[in-house]
Amino acid sequence: MDITAAKAAGARISTRHDDVIDRLPSSFRWGTATSAYQIEGAVDEDGRTPSIWDTFCRVPGAIANGDTGDLACDHYHRMPEDVALIRELGIDTYRYSVSWPRVQPGGSGPANAAGLAFYDRLTDELLSQDIEPWVTLYHWDLPQELEDAGGWPNRDTAYRFADYAELVYARLGDRVQHWTTLNEPWCTAMLGYVQGVQAPGRRDFEAGIHAVHHLLLGHGLAVERLRAAATRPVDLAITLNLSTAKPATDSEADREAARRADGLGTRIYLDPLRRASYPQDVVADLAARGIEIPVHDGDLATISAPIDTLGVNYYFSMRQSGVDEHGRTADSDGLPVDRAVLYGLPLTAIGWEIMPDDFADMLTRIGRDYPGVPIVVTENGAAFADKPDETGFVRDDDRVEYLASHIAAIVAAREAGTDVRGYFVWSLLDNFEWAYGYDKRFGIVRVDYPTQQRTPKQSAYWYRDTIQRVRGQ
Ligand code: FCB
């Protein structure tokens, strides 16, 4: 990477939105995020065993272009170069995830020293560059053996997760203060076990609801274990992907659909985490479908163990309708036909609507309804159809605009009373975007996959300048 050369190639640093960024404190945390399977590659090196994503990538038609994470950004072998990039961009926090099957092959039993050594080196490299490590323990790569034993719908997986969390903490806890248990349990449960569009690709609503509870239980057990093991200050968090759920119209059917979407999207996570109970209306809706959340005595006390930070990821929002294209409100089984509908706003390359106002609304609502825990936005960003010039430089004004408008939304939410303390761009690098494969590029740094060359995009320089400006440098 050569920042000077790229700038000479014509990058113009946007200084728009100065008025907005001037309203953020110099202590605001600026980060960037990645996840293990999306960047590391090296899937069968140093004792790593397959995760559900290695398996899912082999299912014909599951991933665009038949892509896999086998090589990804080859970060496992290029880690120091990638840390140097973070440093050069002046980013103060790096959120990375640990690959469970790399550090505990098969998902149970002793640690794999060679696998843990990678995260040991990464952590030391970050600290030596003055970058704060922010570890996510679970970013979707469940060891395949645990899926074979029932996966997240199986209660035992929660206990396996707590053991794994403790094992990673034992190795990195002397240097890492910030720990996120789970990334986006909604995606694991709903996309992985209900819709089947992510690993492990199951389509079973009841299994998805059981997964929700066991993910939350695993989080709570891990928090208890890490809190007990900590001998220095520790910041324990969970990251949820949250959005708004506004009715498409004021009709009763649409308002009910919005209530249900909010129930299964937000309250089924935040109520047990922060209020030690599942929402009554969600429980009733599930009961009407013959489904019970598999709560054992003591689970809700475990799940609601205090956290220090709430991680929130936001990308887009849609409105909710309880009426289908044929005007029906229920299907032939009598189940609601709820669907999400577009606002009609511009879309990113992945088809997600650009809706920063709803980001502000969501953060404001979370601050109001679930007060008392500071929020860090642990992911936000956008895929666009980047067009590199002959030097590989991408002038991504669209991404700059997206990031700027979403940072402005954070400022609005802060001024409305929500305690948001940091913002992490998704993502440092273009990477393996799950079922979308490598086609959808979210990086502020371009990756040319054939050569693995990294080239910061204009958005990377804009981000660097934004951070410097807020810090008053
Ligand atoms: C989030 C995931 C992250 C990335 C972004 C685009 O849901 O946490 O890994 O894929 O979406």
Report how far ligand 1's centroid is from the alpha carbon of 182 (Å): 13
C-alpha 228 – ligand 1 centre gap (Å): 30
**Sign of the torsion formed by the C-alpha atoms of 108, 40, 466 and 26:** positive
Mutate to test the pocket of ligand 1, among 67, 433, 440 (most ligand atoms within 8 A of CB): 433
CA distance 74 to 43: 10
- In angstroms, the CA 254 to CA 248 distance is 6
CB 29 within 8 A of CB 376: yes
**Does ligand 1 lie within 6 Å of residue 348's CB atom?**
no
Please indicate whether residue 430, judged by its CB atom, sits closer than 6 Å to ligand 1.
no
Closest CA to 462 of 2, 16, 5, 9: 16
CA of 426 to the centre of ligand 1 (A): 8
Assess whether the C-beta atom of 53 lies below 6 angstroms from ligand 1. Answer: no
Angle between the 75-88 and 113-128 helix axes, to the nearest 10 degrees? 20
Q: Which tokens in the block code for residue 46?
A: 């140093």
User: Rg of the chain's alpha carbons, rounded to an integer?
Assistant: 21
Looking at 125, 147, 256, 379, which residue is catalytic?
379
Q: What's the rounded Cα separation, in Å, for the pair 365 and 243?
A: 10
**What's the pLDDT score for residue 244?**
98
Q: Which residue of 377, 403, 434 sits with most ligand 1 atoms within 8 Å of its CB, as the best mutation to test the pocket? A: 434
The residue extents of the domains of the chain are 2-471
CATH superfamily, domain at 2-471: Glycosidases (3.20.20.80)
> Using one digit for the tens of pLDDT, what is the confidence trace for 315-365?
999 999 999 999 999 999 999 999 999 999 999 999 999 999 999 999 999
Cα gap 367→375, rounded to integer Å: 8
Report pLDDT for 250.
Answer: 98
Structure tokens at 198: 């992510």
Q: In whole angstroms, what is the distance from residue 459 CA to residue 443 CA?
A: 9
Measuring from atom 5 of ligand 1, which residue has the nearest CA?
426
- The H or E element spanning position 164 is helix 156-172
Cβ–Cβ under 8 Å, residues 428 and 444: yes
Cα-flanking dihedrals φ and ψ of residue 247, to 5°?
Answer: -70, 145
> What is the CA(379)–ligand 1 centre distance, in A?
8
Distance 330 CA to ligand 1 centre (A): 32
pLDDT tens for each residue of 9-44 = 333 434 457 788 889 999 999 999 999 999 999 999
Tell me if 379 CB under 6 Å of ligand 1: yes
Mention every residue, 6+ apart, whose C-beta is less than 8 A from residue 349.
382, 383, 384, 385, 440, 441
Q: Closest ligand 1 atom to the C-alpha of 442?
A: 6
Q: What pLDDT, on the 0 to 100 scale, is given for residue 433? A: 99
Edge-to-edge strands, sheet with 319-321:
246-247, 319-321, 339-341
CB atoms closer than 10 angstroms to residue 432: 25
CA distance 413 to 365: 9
379 tagged catalytic: yes
Nearest CA to ligand 1 atom 9: 35
Residues of the chain below pLDDT 70: 1-16
Q: How far is CA 107 from the centre of its chain?
A: 21
Q: Is residue 96 lining ligand 1, measured as CB closer than 6 Å?
A: no
Residues whose CB is less than 8 angstroms from the CB of residue 325 and which lie 6 or more positions away in sequence, other chains included? none
Q: What is the phi/psi pair of residue 184, to 5°?
A: 50, 65
The tokens describing 64, both together, are: 């665009």
The pLDDT value given to residue 425: 99
How do 93-97 and 453-456 pair as beta strands? unpaired
pLDDT computed for residue 16 by the predictor: 54
At residue 180, the 3 state secondary structure works out as strand
SS3 state at 375: strand
Catalytic residue among 184, 256, 401, 433: 184
Residue in this structure with the two tokens 């907005």, named with its chain if needed: 20
Residue pair 450/388 in contact (Cβ under 8 Å)? The answer is no
What is the value of pTM for the model shown?
A: 0.96
Return d(Cα 111, Cα 116) in angstroms, integer: 7
